Amino acid sequence: MKPRALVLTAVVAVLALGTLVQRRRGYKLGGNTIVRCRAGHLFTTIWIPGGSLKAVRLGMVRWQRCPVGKHWTLVTPVREDELTDVDRQLAEQYHDVRIP
């Protein structure tokens, strides 16, 4: 393998591993993820570790638009087991644009 392909493979492997670890910790990442904004709004977004077109990535925090309060804010993923059924239903009503 060429060195560049090797580096790319390593990066993909690390990202995949990171997603697995976060899933085990109770975060549902890598698809539709329930997140909470700084104002406490819950909504669903597509969270793909390592890649995003519409948000600034800062590790487990993202700067993006909140569809509930219609404002730009920092959002963090919420552990599914910390949510009540009501929280989950509310979050599922709000989904931002379906691009990662």
Which residues of the shown chain bind Zn ion in the complex (CB under 5 A)? Answer: 37, 39, 41, 66, 68-69
Specify the DSSP element, H or E, that contains 45.
Answer: strand 42-47
Comparing CB distances to Zn ion, the nearer of 18 and 69 is 69
User: Which regions of the chain does DSSP assign to beta strands (E)?
Assistant: 31-37, 42-47, 56-58, 61-66, 71-77
Quote the least distance from Cβ 40 to Zn ion, whole Å: 7
Comparing CB distances to Zn ion, the nearer of 23 and 54 is 54
Q: Which two tokens stand for residue 15?
A: 């990202």
Comparing CB distances to Zn ion, the nearer of 18 and 94 is 94
Under 8 Å CB-to-CB from 27, ≥6 apart: which residues? 33, 77, 79, 80
Quote the least distance from Cβ 5 to Zn ion, whole Å: 41
Quote the least distance from Cβ 39 to Zn ion, whole Å: 4
Comparing CB distances to Zn ion, the nearer of 19 and 96 is 96
Quote the least distance from Cβ 65 to Zn ion, whole Å: 9
Specify the DSSP element, H or E, that contains 21.
Answer: helix 3-24
